[in-house]
Structure 1
Amino acid sequence: MEKLTIPETLQKNITYHSEVCDRHTYIKAGQEIVKPIQKMVIDGELVCPRCELEQGDRKLQEATQKEYDEFLKQKKYNTFYNRSILADNTILAATLENYHVEHQEERKNKQTVMESISRLKNGQVFNLILQGNQGAGKSHLAYAALRELNESGLDVSCLFVNVESMMRLIKDSFNNKESRYTENYFVELMSEADYLALDDIGAETGAIGTDKIATDFVQRVLYAITTTRQDKSTLITTNLSSETLFRMYDKKLVSRLFRNPKFVVFKETKDKRMNNIPF
């Protein structure tokens, strides 16, 4: 029977008891053997010192695990604000509340986005495609949707990436060995995000109103990202028609972008950025 050694300074408050604890075991020759532990009376309470020690270890482990879980949760939350790639920093202020509607199409599309957010919060997986006129507020709504998801308390990571800006950063890393914005960095980052917005697909080719085709480099990066997101939801904004997208990109890539889609299309909404121009 194991007898623990007690420091002399504590012995006056502790006495051994004849009762033993038989909850503790060890393995010998493949067999589990009970190792009795003599109980003690500590400050008038009968306890097993080994049980007390294990309980203390368990509480410490639980506290450590809780702290680590909180760290991971905060890291996910910060992904949206610290690692998103924007072309226009004014979008940082974008919310659903400050997306002002003037016409029926805007009202309908905003409602569709709000309903889509609810579906995403409930765990549904689909791609939300916002397409149509430039300046209609597609990026605003996509960023606002991610903000809602990020602030929902669901312990998810959200990421907003302007595709053209991302491609420029990757190309810069070819000659800048100190840059962290490599192709692998973005593929891994965007693959891990629970909710991702690919902003302004097509603008990276400068192809609006032209017959240009996306380069092999662009197609490779986008294909790598979409390949790893087959079981996750992605928000996509583009000014381009489906016809142009299928001409510009490989059909497999476009098919993955349009996987299980919910479309939000702007046909009548005018460029909101032009409203204040007096001529």
Structure 2
Amino acid sequence: MLSLAETLSMKGTTSIRNLPQTSDKRCNECSRYLLIINNQEQCGYCSLIKKEDEQIGIEAREALERKERMKALRIFNKESIINDRLKQATFENYEPNNESQEKAKAIVKRYVENFSTDNPVPLMLRGDYGLGKSHLAAAAVKELAEKNITSIFISVPKLLTKIKSTWDKQSETTEEEILSALEAVDCLVLDDLGAEQTKRDPNGNIPWSVTKLFEIIDARIGKHTIFTTNLDNQELQEHLGPRNYSRAMEGVHPIKLTGEDYRLRKFKEA
């Protein structure tokens, strides 16, 4: 039996007499009336149009999501969110000084090489000051950008300051736009987690910074997020609170860096 597409493409089928007749029955899937082709009932929509419509829908959704991600980058590109030193960071100019740093570099490079939005893997780069955690995270963002993967790198204290700035009536950006941007990007780097002020008020209430930070992290569950922190597990748990810490660390792959602060090394050598 010829399909509907084959029947309509046959020479001589353009006359009214040869056009398919409409059945009084409806398609079980789309409820449209069936067409009678070679004495067989077929659904014209499901046979010819449905797949094309579905593909158009997929492409439209992808275009919209891409638009939202690009909007996110524009919001954060209005001002510098990464210092000049880190703008020069690459995997090539990161010089590990021990096995833990060498391993961290290899893991983050592999993370970028195998990056897939279908398989999100959050990372936590943890260690003392001056070991290159931020350097590796910034290098990852740079290489992801070269692959047309939308990414945002921002320190947590600067992020919270940026959110507070939206409270000014003269602000061109709203808090909702910032939060939506952070949620939309393919990869978010939250640098220096734990450096923000989280001191409770005299009544013991959780500070605004912790509540807002948890809101941001919670929205990134199931997405690519890279954290860097100088705090160990216990310190970070105390900083965020047990519940927030448990939720924030869901599925996170920890990477421990050890060694000597490279910023102070030259003073010891002098």
- Shorter-chain-normalised TM-score: which range? 0.5 to 0.7
In the aligned structure 2, how far is the partner of 1:25 from the partner of 1:149?
55
Identity of aligned residues (%): 24
In the aligned structure 2, how far is the partner of 1:165 from the partner of 1:218?
12
1:133 is the counterpart of 2:128:
yes
In the aligned structure 1, how far is the partner of 2:85 from the partner of 2:75?
15
Distance 1:206 1:132, change over 3 A: farther
Asked if the contact 1:129/1:237 (under 8 Å) is kept, the reply is yes
**1:152 pairs with one of 129, 132, 147:** 147
What code does the residue aligned with 2:87 have?
L
Distance 1:254 1:25, change over 3 A: farther
Asked if the contact 2:193/2:229 (under 8 Å) is kept, the reply is yes
Gaps of 5+ in 1: 1-18, 35-57, 208-212
Q: Which residue of 1 aligns with 2:210?
A: 219
Q: Which residue of 1 aligns with 2:47?
A: none
The CA deviation string for residues 76-129 of structure 1, in whole angstroms up to 9 with x for no partner, is 468558626625232122221221223322212101212223443373222100
Gaps of 5+ in 2: 1-13, 27-31, 36-51
Q: Which residue of 2 aligns with 1:272?
A: 262
Instruction: Provide the aligned length of Structure 1 versus Structure 2.
Output: 231
Distance 1:178 1:130, change over 3 A: same
What code does the residue aligned with 1:20 have?
S
1:259 is the counterpart of 2:254:
no
**1:89 pairs with one of 84, 88, 105:** 84
**1:161 pairs with one of 150, 154, 163:** 154
After TM superposition, the structure 1 = structure 2 runs for residues 156-235 of structure 1, keeping only pairs within 5 Å, are 156-174=149-167, 176-205=168-197, 216-235=207-226
In the aligned structure 2, how far is the partner of 1:243 from the partner of 1:214?
20
Offset at residue 73 of structure 1 (A):
4.8
Offset at residue 203 of structure 1 (A):
1.0
**1:20 pairs with one of 15, 21, 27:** 15
TM-score computed with the length of structure 1 as normaliser: 0.65
Asked if the contact 1:222/1:253 (under 8 Å) is kept, the reply is no
Distance 1:187 1:146, change over 3 A: same
